[in-house]
Amino acid sequence: MSESWKALGEVFGICLLPAVAMAAGSVLVQYYRPGRLLSTALEQFAAGVVLGALGLDLLSMLSTAHGLTIIAVNAGFISGVIFMFLMGRVVPLFIGDPGDILDLHELQPLQVREKLIDASETLDIKISGPIPMGFVASVMINSVIDGTHRSIIAFEELLLTSRVHNCHRLAGRYRVRVGQWCLGNGHCFGGRNVPGMHCPATANPHLLLIWQPLS
Amino acid sequence: MPVGIPISGALGSALLVQLNPEGSMFLCIIAFGSASLIYLITNELLTAVHMNPDCDRWFISVQLFVGFWVTMLLKVPAGSLFFLYVRLAHTYTYSPTRTHSNSEDS
């Protein structure tokens, strides 16, 4: 085996570590959902690690730039900034939020828009755009389990117990991450990202029914 | 998605190993990656942290420095840490008077 293939295998093995860690984390989160403080601390820790890698590894490589290579460094940096902003702002306008897309692919459309509009009028919530089907299907499955006579009550309980974990601006809108959706009977659902008109924390931290079309 | 990490890492390695580490193309790619990481830190991670109303707690704020420190420790070779330990142990274990008395005994 040549040296290049050996080096390639070594790199593949090193890169396999984060892949395994990501898969293990995805499995782990199915059984243990970290709290808000722990997840915030981990995000802060990750920011520090990435900052360290940036400052200690990448920027030290760039310090060798001289002469005309300085132009290449500037061109690469500026193109990186433009590329990331395009990725962050333009792509979601076309394909929407990845979490919602996955939900839409997995679930079938359900006819509950009228009920949601009625509930929104009761709770003074504005609705625009299509219904996010993942959210609706979660409610419908729970409603089927509990019985149809309890569906409207379940809707209202779901709206009032929805927890907003974080919210940040993306592509001119706010991407709101909602965490566990718990009903009054103890049934809870997983978290997902929802594009919204504004952060619900500024209006009502417990309500999230303001969304826009995904496309 | 996790499968894409080792594949893209191997592809990037196969590409970059062909380039001169002080050449324009290599540095351009590194600068591109630096900009991407800065975007990740500022627009994704820190933004998500500061959306949490509890983010001003000290043990959350200090995690940024802990993360940087961990990376710094990983960058320092293990041998350097060992010699630092030996030097500190020598400083705090042996005092000049004790050294003097030892030399008299011998």
Distance CA B32, CA B47 (A): 21
Query: Can you say whether residue A67 is alpha, beta or left, with left for phi > 0 and alpha for psi between -120 and 50 degrees?
Result: left
Q: Which position has the higher pLDDT, A183 or B40? A: B40
* Token pair listed for A166: 């974080």
Query: What local confidence, expressed as pLDDT, does residue B49 receive?
Result: 83
pLDDT tens, position by position, A76-128: 999 999 998 888 777 777 766 655 554 444 444 444 444 444 544 444 444 44
Interface test with A, best of B34, B66, B74, B75 (most A CBs within 10 A): B34
Distance CA A26, CA A163 (A): 21
Instruction: Give how far A122 is from chain B: nearest CA, Å.
Output: 29
Angle between helices B24-39 and A69-89 (to 10 degrees): 30
Report whether pLDDT(B42) > 80: yes
Prediction ipTM score:
0.71
pLDDT band at A215 (very low <50, low <70, confident <90, very high): very low
pLDDT tens, position by position, A22-46: 888 888 877 877 788 888 888 889 8
Q: What percent of chain A has pLDDT over 90?
A: 7
pLDDT band at B35 (very low <50, low <70, confident <90, very high): very high
Parse chain A into domains and list their residue ranges. 1-32, 98-203
Contacts of B58 in chain A (CB under 8 A): none
Q: Which position has the higher pLDDT, A200 or A68? A: A68
Query: What local confidence, expressed as pLDDT, does residue A149 receive?
Result: 36
Average pLDDT for chain B: 78
pLDDT band at A154 (very low <50, low <70, confident <90, very high): very low
Contacts of A4 in chain B (CB under 8 A): 14, 17
Give mean pLDDT, residues B45-65: 84
Distance CA A149, CA A143 (A): 8
Report whether pLDDT(A14) > 60: yes
Average pLDDT for chain A: 62
pLDDT band at B66 (very low <50, low <70, confident <90, very high): very high
Buried b (16+ CB within 10 A) or exposed e, A60-91: ebbeebeeebeebbeebbeebbeebeeeeeee
Run of H or E residues at A181: strand A181-182
Residue type at position A159: L
- Cβ neighbours around A31 below 10 Å, total: 6
Q: What percent of chain B has pLDDT over 90?
A: 8
Burial status of residue A49 (CB atoms within 10 A of its CB: 0-12, 13-18, 19 or more): buried
Query: What local confidence, expressed as pLDDT, does residue B43 receive?
Result: 84
Block residue for tokens 């909602």 = A178
Query: What local confidence, expressed as pLDDT, does residue A74 receive?
Result: 92
Candidate from A19, A36, A47 with C-beta closest to B46: A47
Report whether pLDDT(A138) > 90: no
Contacts of A15 in chain B (CB under 8 A): 5-6, 8-10
Query: What local confidence, expressed as pLDDT, does residue A90 receive?
Result: 78
Query: What local confidence, expressed as pLDDT, does residue A99 receive?
Result: 52
Contact A4 B24 (CB under 8 A): no
Interface contacts (A, B; CB < 8 Å): 195
Parse chain B into domains and list their residue ranges. 1-55
Nearest Cα residue in chain B from A17: B6
* Token pair listed for A191: 């978290």
Contacts of A12 in chain B (CB under 8 A): 6, 9-10
